[in-house]
Amino acid sequence: MKTPAEFRAEAHKMADRIADYFEQVELYPVKSLVKPGEIASQLPDFPPDRPVQMDDIMEDFEKIILPGITHWQSPNFFAFFPANSSYPSVLAEMLTATLGQQGMIWETSPAAAELEQRVMEWLKNMCGLPAEWSGVIQDTASASTLAALLTAREKATGFKVNAEGFDRDWKLRIYCSSETHSSIEKAARIAGIGRKNLVKIAVDHNFAMKPAALRDAVEQDLRDGYKPTCVVATIGTTSSTAVDPIDEIGKICREYNIWFHVDAAFAGSALVLPEKRHFAEGLDQADSFVFNPHKWMFTNFDCSAYFVNDPDMLIRTFEILPEYLKTRTRGQVNDYRDWGVALGRRFRALKLWFVIRNFGVDGIREKIRKHLDLAQWLAGEINQSQEFELLAPVPFSLVCFRFCPRHIHDESMLDNINEKLLLQLNASGQIYITHTRLNGKYTLRMVTAQTNVEHRHIEKAWRLINETAAELMKSG
């Protein structure tokens, strides 16, 4: 492919293929059924020396690659949390790839920098976040949380670790609940704070952090000469979408002058709904906050919205200024390379802009409300069923449950049955769900938040779960 004319012809074909894919996505097994190594074994050991025609590449894509694809954009995808896409998002990504922007500083792409600033203000407004916050798009919540921990570390040490490294024992401590996402531990390790200084606070019967236990841990650490540096609270934990008591935790952080980071990677999108904002009460006390439009706001991976109360702290933590990056516009505009780990930055704001405008805020609200209703419907069915039970409250669009036939009381037997049930459901290719453990119990997780999921998909999945469970009992 060398000429614009050749590209045009191929691009038209590709647009048709993409539309076909969306039309037919329900026909594929949701979870890829290939075995480990099956894809690699079909790929040659060495790259081709001679050009390969697009038709041949696409033929291999269909034959070799597609069977190894797990269809995250299928409305029968109920696993993990979704990585949602949508039509406007896909179209924006085409443009993003075409323009190939590298938005490290304002000068390298003024529109990328200024659009990013504006769409982050839009998100803040849409979600009712504090007006004084500043936002930046990161690739993932993991990177956002790492930025939070690094900034907290520098604030606690007076920017000494950045300057001198760990030449003394700062005895920094980070706090989160036992239900917190693994990215917090990863960030604590990378930031040089260490896993042993990540204090896991106990949770209550709804899997939310106990603020009294947090206070006890902080006070004990102060007595022992540690420096409480950061508390990470979650709105919507990964296992069960539990919500930590933000207001109470925020007050403790203010009292002891501890950085307060709030991780709402999945559930943060629900804050577009005024009726869900009570979960974020007290959020104005946070120093930093992250949620992922790439999970539940129809903007394809990757797009993580990171907000900070004091951008100067963030910039002081990450700023670096070699001669070749000095510009005359410094200080007048946002140079986002100073707002996170990477220097080079993708033009992620474009897809968010397309999505917010093409859905409209009302359109986004309507979809998220529908997903919440679908979860309530499923939770209602489970509650009415004699054979299934809910294992956690359903504040958002994740339903945690298990199969528990009345005559079986042995916990390890129930674990086994539910694991078998999960494997059979996923092997059917019809749906994809995942699991967790809650109070030690093997728990099925079903998320009703895929962009195009409708009531009929949930109904069909629920029927399949019942039928598969019944068969499992018959076959012993």
Q: Least distance (Å) from ligand PLP to the CB of residue 309?
A: 20
Q: Which of 232, 225, 249 is nearest to 181 (CA)?
A: 232
Query: Per rule CB under 6 A, is residue 142 in the interface with ligand PLP?
Result: yes
- Determine the size of the site formed for ligand PLP (CB under 6 A): 14
Contacts from 251-254 at CB under 8 Å and sequence distance 24+? 251/282, 251/285, 252/211, 252/214, 252/215, 252/218, 253/285, 253/287, 254/285
263 binds ligand PLP (CB under 6 A): yes
397 binds ligand PLP (CB under 6 A): no
Task: State both tokens at 132.
Answer: 């004084």
Instruction: Give the CA angle between residues 317, 103, 192 to the nearest 5°.
Output: 30
Q: 369: helix, coil or strand? A: helix
Choices 260-268, 312-320, 365-373, 458-466 (CB under 6 A): range interacting with ligand PLP:
260-268
Question: With CB under 6 A as the contact rule, which of the stretches 124-132, 138-146, 249-257, 370-378 interacts with ligand PLP?
Answer: 138-146
Q: How many CB atoms lie within 10 A of CB 409?
A: 9
CB contact at 8 A, 260 and 234: no
User: How far apart are CB 398 and ligand PLP at their closest, in Å?
Assistant: 10
3-class DSSP state of 225: coil
Among 112, 123, 141, 280, binds ligand PLP (CB under 6 A): 141
Based on CB atoms, which residue is closest to ligand PLP, 170 or 306? 306
User: Of 76, 134, 157, 183, which one interacts with ligand PLP (CB under 6 A)?
Assistant: 183
Q: Does 238 bind ligand PLP (CB under 6 A)?
A: yes
C-alpha to C-alpha distance for 142 and 116, rounded to whole angstroms: 20
Which span (136-144, 157-165, 362-370, 393-401) binds ligand PLP, by CB under 6 A?
136-144
Work out whether 177 is an interface residue with ligand PLP (CB under 6 A): no
Residue 240 engages ligand PLP in binding (rule: CB under 6 A): no
Q: How far apart are alpha carbons 234 and 198 in whole angstroms?
A: 15
Nearer to ligand PLP, 187 or 350 (CB): 187
Helix extents (H) in 386-434: 411-427
Q: Contacting ligand PLP (CB under 6 A), which of 89, 197, 288, 304?
A: 304
Rg (CA), the chain: 24
Site residues for ligand PLP per CB under 6 A: 81, 140-142, 181, 183, 234, 237-238, 263, 265-266, 292, 304
